[in-house]
A and B are shown apart, each in its own frame.
Chain A
Amino acid sequence: MKLFEQSLNILQSGVMILDQELSITFINQWLDNAFIHPYPLQDKKLLEVFPELADQRIHQCIQQALEQGLPSILSPGLNQAPLPLCHKCNCIHDNGEQSVFAQMIRIQPMEQNDQRYCMLEIQDVSTMMRREKLLNEQAEKLNRMALTDELTGIANRRHFNGLLEKAVNQTIQQNQPMSLIFFDIDFFKPFNDNLGHQAGDQCLARITRQLSSELESSGFHLARYGGEEFCIIMPDTEPEQASRMAECYRNHVEQLSISHPASKISDVVTASFGVAGFRAGQTDTFTGLILKADNALYRAKTSGRNRVVLSGKT
C-alpha cells in the first residue's frame, strides 16, 4: 500500500479522492502544490475551502459521479480552468494576478465498503493549448496567404472562384439576381514598358485601394483575376444596376488621374468594363457567367476602351 501511495505522490499529474461529503480523502503532492491555497488540503472539505466551485460544472460532475456513478470529462476547450491551479514558480504576474493553467480533468466513481467515492485525475495541458494556438495561427495565416493577392491585398483568383461559387449558389437558393463585372486597365503593357513595372504595380495597387473600400461596404467582392484584369462579384444586383455602378467605378479610375503617357485614348489611366447578369432558373451556369462578362469586356475593348458594356445589349 505504501508503495502505491508513494508512486501517486511522485506522479506528475494530479490525483484527488473525494468522499460523499466532498471531503478530500486523498490528494497527491503534485496537486496539493498546484492549488492556489496556503495550507495542505488533506481531509479538508472541497467546497469549504473553495466555495466558488459550488454549482459549477465541476461540482455537478462530482455529484453525478457520487450519486449516479457516472464518469465525466472536463476538456480544456470547453472549460476554462475549472480548478484554481497554477505553476508555483511563475504564476504571479507583474500585476499581482495569478495565472491559472489549462486543465484536462477526468472524474470517475469508485466504491469501497459500500461507500461511494470519486477520483479526480487532473493534467496540466497548458503546453498543448499553447502548441495548438500556434498551429491555428499558422494555419490561418497560410490560409489567408493562399487566398490573397500579394500585390494588392485583395482576393486572388482562387478566392474569386470560391466567392463566385458561393454567390451563385446563394442566388439560386434565394431566387435573386446577381451580376459580375470584369474590368481591365487600358494599355497597361505600354504603361509598364514606358514607366517601368514598379509604376505598374503602384498603379494597380492605387486603383484597387480606391475601389475596394467602396465595394466591400456595399457587400460586393473585388478580386484580381490575373495581370491587369479584375472582377467584381455583386450579389442581389440586377445587371442594369451593376452597369450603372460600373460606370461610377470607371469614372473613379479616371478621376485618380494617374498619368499615362503611352495611352492612345487619354492622358491618364483608364479602364474598360464588361458586365453580365445571372438569374436563378435560367440555363446559365457558373462558367457561362464568366464567359459572358469576359465577352462584354472584350467588346468594351474593341469598341474604343474606357467604357462599360453590358452583356446582351448591343
Chain B
Amino acid sequence: MKDLSALELDALSEIFNISVGRSAAVLSELTGESVGMSVPMVHILSPERVVDLFGFSQEKLTCISQYFSGAFSGEAMLMFPERSSLEVVRLMLGSQVPLEQLSEIEQDALSEIGNIILNACFAAIADMLQGSFSCNLPEMRVAEIDQILAQSGQKQSVLFLQIQLSLEERNLEGYLAFLMGGESENMLQNALSSFLNGVS
C-alpha cells in the first residue's frame, strides 16, 4: 500500500480522538473519577519497527486485545506498561491493593476498560468503512512487546497510536495498536480518502 498522506493521518487521529474521548466519558461515569483521554499522533509502522521503538525497555506490557474479522480483519490491542496498568485499574477502582500483580477482579476490570476503549474505536472504523465486521470478546495477557506482536504472525503493518490518559491528576501513557490483515489496510485507506473527499 502507498503511505498515508499527512492529511489522511490527521483525519485518522481526529477520528480516534473522538472515539477515545467518548470512551473517556463512559469510563468517567462508570468509575466516578474524572477520566480524560487523547490521541496525540497516529503512525503506520511495521511490527519490527514497533518492537524497535518500544522493546528497548524490556518492561512487560499489559495487553487487552480483541480480534476482528470480516472484510476488515485483524487484531486490536490496548497496551499499558505493566506498572501503569496497575495504576490505571487501581485509580479507576479506587482501591489500595498492595499486591504487585493484578488480582482477578482487577484483570476483569482492565479487560472491561480495554473493551470500552476498543469498542469506541471499532464503532468509528465501522462508521468510516460503512460496513460492519464481527469482533471477539477481549483477552488479556502480560508479555513483552515482541511476544505480543509475534503472535500476529503474518507480515502486516500496524496502525499505532499513543494514548494519553489523565486520571486524578496522574498522566499515564498507553498504546493502541491495530494489526491489520489482508486487504484491511487498503480498505482503510480507500475509506479514508472517500471520507476526506466527502468532507471537502
Q: Which A residues are within 8 Å of any B CB, using their own CB?
A: 57, 64, 68-79, 104, 106, 108-109, 128-129, 132, 135-136, 139-140, 143
B134 in complex: contacting residue of A72, A76, A106, A109, CB < 8 Å: A109
Known A-B contacts A78-B93, A139-B97; A73 and B103 likewise in contact (beta carbons under 8 Å): no
Cβ of B39 to closest chain A Cβ, rounded Å: 19
Task: State whether B119 touches A72 (Cβ < 8 A).
Answer: yes
Residue among B95, B111, B112, B126 facing the most chain A CB atoms (10 A cut-off): B112
Known A-B contacts A68-B132, A79-B30, A132-B103; A73 and B108 likewise in contact (beta carbons under 8 Å): yes
16 residue pairs from A and B, CB less than 8 Å apart: A57-B29, A64-B119, A68-B122, A70-B122, A70-B135, A72-B115, A74-B112, A75-B108, A75-B109, A75-B111, A77-B105, A77-B108, A77-B112, A78-B109, A79-B30, A140-B98
Not counting A77-B108, A135-B99, a sample of 12 additional A-B residue pairs whose C-beta atoms are within 8 angstroms of each other reads A57-B30, A68-B126, A68-B132, A70-B119, A71-B66, A73-B108, A76-B108, A78-B30, A78-B109, A108-B137, A132-B104, A135-B103
Name the residue on B nearest A136 (C-beta): B97
Give the size of the chain B interface in residues (CB under 8 angstroms).
Answer: 35
Q: Give the dominant DSSP class at A's interface.
A: mixed
Task: State whether B123 touches A77 (Cβ < 8 A).
Answer: no
* A-contact bits for B8-45, CB 8 A (1 contact / 0 none): 00000000000000000010011100000000000000
Name the residue on B nearest A128 (C-beta): B104
Cβ of A110 to closest chain B Cβ, rounded Å: 10
Task: State whether B119 touches A69 (Cβ < 8 A).
Answer: no
Known A-B contacts A68-B126, A69-B132, A104-B108; A77 and B137 likewise in contact (beta carbons under 8 Å): no
B96 within 8 A of A: yes
Task: State whether A78 touches B92 (Cβ < 8 A).
Answer: yes
Q: Which 5 A-B pairs have the closest CB atoms?
A: A77-B109, A75-B108, A75-B112, A77-B105, A143-B98
Q: Which residues of B contact A139 (CB under 8 A)?
A: 97-99
B130 within 8 A of A: no
Name the residue on A nearest B112 (C-beta): A75
Q: Which residues of A contact B123 (CB under 8 A)?
A: 64, 68, 70
Name the residue on A nearest B97 (C-beta): A136
Tell me the residues in window 127-166 of chain B with beta carbons closer than 8 Å to chain A beta carbons. 132-138
Q: Which B residues are within 8 Å of any A CB, using their own CB?
A: 26, 29-31, 66, 89, 92-93, 95-99, 103-106, 108-109, 111-113, 115-116, 119, 122-123, 126, 132-138
Known A-B contacts A139-B98, A140-B96, A140-B98; A75 and B126 likewise in contact (beta carbons under 8 Å): no
B105 in complex: contacting residue of A57, A69, A75, CB < 8 Å: A75
Q: A79–B97 Cα gap in the complex (Å)?
A: 18
Task: State whether B99 touches A69 (Cβ < 8 A).
Answer: no
Q: Which residues of B contact A68 (CB under 8 A)?
A: 122-123, 126, 132
Known A-B contacts A128-B105, A132-B105, A139-B98; A71 and B126 likewise in contact (beta carbons under 8 Å): no
Cβ of A70 to closest chain B Cβ, rounded Å: 5
Q: Which residues of A contact B31 (CB under 8 A)?
A: 78
Task: State whether A73 touches B111 (Cβ < 8 A).
Answer: yes
Cβ of A59 to closest chain B Cβ, rounded Å: 13
Q: Which residues of B contact A128 (CB under 8 A)?
A: 104-105
Q: A73–B30 Cα gap in the complex (Å)?
A: 13
A69 in complex: contacting residue of B29, B92, B115, B134, CB < 8 Å: B134
Q: Which residues of B contact A135 (CB under 8 A)?
A: 99, 103
Q: Which residues of A contact B104 (CB under 8 A)?
A: 128, 132
Name the residue on B nearest A146 (C-beta): B98
Cβ of B108 to closest chain A Cβ, rounded Å: 4
